[in-house]
């Protein structure tokens, strides 16, 4: 693929459509909260658990943890199932990996198409802060 920085080029429109289709706002929003990130770390560490077990070492109330769990489940990061009177939550590892692989496959063409400043070298004299390759 050739770097085509022309505004509105067909290649840019095609990749924009593809990227937009896989960038799931619900998924990324769920991952970006520090409390939800801690819940994910906890579940990866201990495996399936109920809200009480998850909340035990966290500073938030169980009701807050429950809302975070619901958001993670809606984003398909967690799955839950009833176990008697309790609801157990667990990581949806295969689904998460598939989602990330789909995103990576969709954005990979950007590596060649969206090269910053057309790949031209900069003149920052060794203190490059512009993101281009130093001359």
Q: Which of 35, 44, 108 is nearest to 69 (CA)?
A: 35
Largest CA distance in the chain: 67
Per-residue pLDDT of the chain (135 residues; tens, 9 = 90+): 455 556 677 888 888 888 888 887 889 999 999 999 999 999 999 999 999 999 998 999 999 999 999 999 999 999 999 999 999 999 999 999 999 999 998 888 887 777 776 666 666 665 566 655 554
What pTM was estimated for this model as a whole?
A: 0.73
- Residue 108, judged by CB atoms within 10 A of its CB (0-12, 13-18, 19+), counts as exposed
């Amino acid at each position: 693929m050739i770097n085509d920085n022309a505004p509105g080029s067909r290649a840019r429109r095609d990749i924009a459509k593809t990227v937009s289709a896989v960038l799931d706002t619900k998924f990324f929003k769920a991952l970006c909260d520090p409390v939800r990130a801690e819940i994910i770390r906890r579940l990866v560490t201990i495996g399936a658990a109920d809200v009480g077990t998850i909340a035990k070492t966290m500073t938030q109330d169980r009701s807050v943890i429950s809302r975070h769990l619901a958001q993670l489940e809606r984003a398909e990061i967690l799955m839950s199932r009833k176990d008697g009177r309790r609801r157990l939550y667990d990581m949806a590892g295969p689904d998460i990996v598939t989602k990330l692989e789909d995103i990576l496959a969709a954005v990979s063409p950007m590596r060649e198409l969206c090269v910053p400043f057309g790949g031209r070298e900069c003149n920052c004299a060794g203190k490059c802060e512009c993101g281009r390759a130093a001359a």
